[in-house]
Amino acid sequence: MSGKTNNTDIEEDNYLGQTIFNKYKLIRKLGQGSFGSIYQAQSKCSNKYYAIKLEDMRQEEFILEEESIFLTYLNIPGVPKFKTFGYSGSLIILVMELLGNSLDKIFENLPSRKMSIRCVCNIAYQLLCIFEVIHSYDIIHRDIKPANIAIGYEEKSKYIYLLDFGLAKKYRSSKTKKHFPFKIKNKLIGNARYSSINALEGGTQSRRDDLESLGYLLLYLLLGRLPWQGHISRSKEDKYYKIKEIKKSTTPEQLCQGLPYQFQKYVEYTRNLEYETDPDYNYLKNLFLTVLAHYNWNFDYYYDWDQVGLTISEIKDKEKDVENNIKNEINKNLYYEHEIPKMCRKISQLIEERKRSGYIFDQDRFIYEPEEESMFNLSSNQNENTLEKFFNTNSMTPYAYPRKLQTKKGSGCLPCQPKNYANGKEKDNDCCFIF
């Protein structure tokens, strides 16, 4: 990622074994990025596993706040599910669905350091489906690379996921569907190796840039390297300039030499897209389906690392889970203004509170998790002693600086009564940050 700095003031490994929000125990470090670190954690309540990102807000820049909003805003197949978000001391914390290995880790362990055409086409089709939905939500990713693509965890290991929305951005208005103005001399956002030519030239990015970047990523997986890799550079600017010039001078035909011609067609199509042009996602997906059909293969979730495709009946079952959901999301959102989910608004409120109060050293603050509200064992007969646990900083308090307290027994808020709090009545006041 461009423009992000690592924090060296803290030892991230010291967090292993600690418990976040008095609930999630960090049991294994999964990786380190410019945002901070990511861990595998286990819930003390459900014993389920989750991924937790930790980022120190003492850095010059931090991105987890924006990523948490994008994850809740999307909430679609192929994107990790949001769990909760909050603060502890100077740490920003994002809890989300745990996934399997990323493509860069898988790629490193392949003996040939390449992936087969069959495997790449299965990956390409799924990613294009995911991009079609994300773009229908008026969002672009802007950081396409193998490290940001992963397989699902355990029973979801046949699914491909797109990760890391810290650099994502809206490219047009959700209300008018009008693109934001095109500008030049922008700072490069994303990974230069896979970035589009337009992004390297400083142009404002849109859907075409995500798709062109995807093309370079697919070619990297197939060929093992790209022509602009391995050149000696004096500085980052010099490196970016050389990559840009080699990309511009390398024709799609040269880039895809020895591969099925559909890959050349993909690069040509995405390079020729205009800033506001609506991409033909069906055309692009059919390019890869055509390659599979040429070799008498199907889109069957086949990957080189397990070499087991699915049967026709298994594929139909998965299509019910994923493909139909994706189609419904596209049809539902393509022509309508997107309503901001309530969870996004709650996260925004929590961020605003953080900006006013600074680091949260005295207590944890995080977004309430509705699916686990039963663990609090709430009833309409709460008393003052029971209320204490909601304000005890040593317990898992789900509220962030409540501004309204219960005034009468069985009424008011606790500080807000969650949905379905008692007698089937839904209450959701705005006096604290609760979903």
Catalytic machinery residues: 143
* Residue among 115, 129, 78, 97 nearest 30 (CA): 97
* Cβ–Cβ under 8 Å, residues 345 and 429: no
Contacts from 408-411 at CB under 8 Å and sequence distance 24+?
Answer: 409/381, 409/382, 409/383, 410/380, 410/381, 410/382
* Cβ–Cβ under 8 Å, residues 205 and 199: yes
User: CA 190, 89, 11, 48 torsion: positive or negative?
Assistant: negative
3-class secondary structure, 343 = helix
Distance from chain centroid for Cα 66: 11
Provide the greatest CA pair distance for the chain: 76
Buried b or exposed e, range 17-38, using 16+ CB within 10 angstroms: eeebbebbbbeeebeebbbbbb
Report how far residue 384's alpha carbon sits from residue 407's, in angstroms, rounded to the nearest whole number.
11
* Cβ–Cβ under 8 Å, residues 244 and 211: no
**Pairing state of beta strands 49-56 and 91-97?**
antiparallel
Written as one letter, the residue type at 193 is: R
Give the Å distances, CA to CA, from 4 to 8, 9, 149, 189, 416: 13, 15, 20, 10, 38
Report how far residue 196's alpha carbon sits from residue 144's, in angstroms, rounded to the nearest whole number.
10
Written as one letter, the residue type at 84 is: T
Report how far residue 431's alpha carbon sits from residue 435's, in angstroms, rounded to the nearest whole number.
11
Residues contacting 48, CB < 8 A, separation 6+: 42
CB atoms within 10 A of CB 264: 19
Report how far residue 69's alpha carbon sits from residue 51's, in angstroms, rounded to the nearest whole number.
16
